[in-house]
Amino acid sequence: MAGKGGIEVEGTVVECLRDAKFTVELPNGHRVLAHVSGKVRKNFIKVLPYDRVLVELSPYDLNRGRILFRYRS
């Protein structure tokens, strides 16, 4: 049986960090440390500063997230 997913929110990449991590700013100004999801990685999708992305926040730490999707525009 599938359970509930995490909180998903749109944000903007403001910085690419080392170790394949990114700082993503959410619409409320909160910034999270995010990494790319496996699906994004498997599809060779590059994430760059100013990209709009969909982030799933960690239920254990709201300062962390994973990038589920990068919008084209």
Partner 1 sequence: MNTLRFTAGDPAVEITQITPRLWHALDDDRVTGRGEAITRPDGRIFLSVDAWHRSVFDQLARAMLAALPDPLHTVVDESDQELLAGWQRAGLTIRRREWEYAVPTRPALPAPGLTIGPAEDGPLRELERVVRAQIEETVGWQEMPAEVMVRPDGDTSMYTVAVENGEYVGLVRVTQLTRLPRIGLIAVRADRQRHGIARALLTHALGALHQAGVGTATAEVNEANVAATALFEGIGARRTGSTVELVRHGR
Kindly state the smallest distance separating residue 41's Cβ from partner 1, in Å. Answer: 6
Report the residue number, 11 or 66, with the smaller CB distance to partner 1: 66
**Chain Cα centroid distance, residue 36:** 6
**Tokens linked to 31:** 């910034």
Handedness of CA 48, 28, 59, 55 (dihedral sign): negative
Residue 47 backbone phi and psi in degrees, to 5: -115, 130
Residues lying near partner 1 in the complex (CB under 8 A) are found at: 1-6, 18-20, 33, 35-39, 41-42, 44, 46, 48, 51, 58-61, 63-64, 66, 70, 72
With respect to partner 1, which residue has the nearer C-beta, 28 or 73?
A: 73
Least separation in angstroms between residue 44's CB and partner 1 is: 7
Residue 52: closest CA among 21, 27, 19: 27
**Which C-beta is closer to partner 1: that of 3 or that of 27?**
3
